[in-house]
Amino acid sequence: MKIFTHLCSYILLLVVFNVPKGLSDNPPLQDVCPMAPQGERKLFMNGFLCKHPSTILASDFKTLLLNHAGDLDNIVRSSVNVVTATEFPGLNTLGLSMARTDIAPNGVVLPHSHPRASEMMFVHGGSVVVGFLDTKGRLFQKSLGEGEVFVFPRGLVHYIMNYGFSHATTFSVLNSQNPGVVGIVHAMFATDSDVVEGLMARMFKFGEMGVSDNITADFPWAL
């Protein structure tokens, strides 16, 4: 019995000290911490200073920033509105941010990644094809309809395509108050370049092939 107790204690210590760090933002040290207005910030820190507890209001925890569609009049025919603690004070220290994505028929959200967060996406309306690449180059792709959910792991390149005949809308929650966005294509080419158009065409051609999940070759964005 004594040996069993020591063994259990050893296993527990291994679990505690080997839990991956940085899976999301650091936990808060108080119940809530809405971001302080710009004029009240006296120093720079990794995050935002809190409002004085006596000035916190219920309105600090409400936002209307995701209640309307974005502008789809662009080359990719899509719009992504990410709301972080910068725009929504109540998110400060909670390790969360949100996003709304609107995609017109034949529109895409080009390959990108979030270096500080995983993303859980809910399809509010329409139908989309989504996918991400892991670090071994394997592609995980799925078709999603209204009410379905898909997860993009932290830091991995992912994309969304509208494959329906109507407007598609998705809502996402990310486990960082500042997830960051690294646009793979826009980091190298102008938004209105022929490269972007060519990439969109290849992505849709790939989808039309009806390829099953986890295919590792013939990526549509290979330039």
Q: What is the pLDDT of residues 193-211, one digit of tens each?
A: 565 666 666 665 655 545 4
The answer, yes or no, to whether residue 157 has pLDDT greater than 70, is: yes
Question: 186: annotated binding-site residue?
Answer: no
Question: 119: annotated binding-site residue?
Answer: yes
Residue indicated by tokens 């190298």: 188
The answer, yes or no, to whether residue 216 has pLDDT greater than 70, is: no
pLDDT of residue 99: 98
pLDDT of residue 38: 72
Contacts for 89 with CB less than 8 Å, ≥ 6 apart: 34, 35, 48, 51, 60
pLDDT of residue 213: 52
Range 22-179: architecture per CATH: Sandwich (2.60)
- Please give the mean pLDDT across all residues of the chain: 79
Instruction: Select from 155, 223, 169 the least CA-distant residue to 194.
Output: 223
The 10 Å CB-count burial string (b at 16+, else e) for 190-223 is eeeeeebeebbebbbebbeeeeeeeeeeebbbee
Asked if residue 178 lies in contact with residue 97, where contact means CB atoms within 8 angstroms, the answer is: yes
Burial of 81 by CB count in 10 Å (0-12 exposed, 13-18 middle, 19+ buried)? middle
Say what percent of the chain tops pLDDT 90.
52
CA distance 65 to 74: 20
CA distance 176 to 92: 10
pLDDT of residue 23: 56
The answer, yes or no, to whether residue 12 has pLDDT greater than 50, is: no
Question: 114: annotated binding-site residue?
Answer: yes
Question: 167: annotated binding-site residue?
Answer: no
CA distance 61 to 91: 7
Q: So where are the chain's domains?
A: 22-179
DSSP character for 130? E
Q: Is the pTM of this model over 0.75?
A: no
Give the pLDDT band of residue 218 (cuts 50, 70, 90).
very low
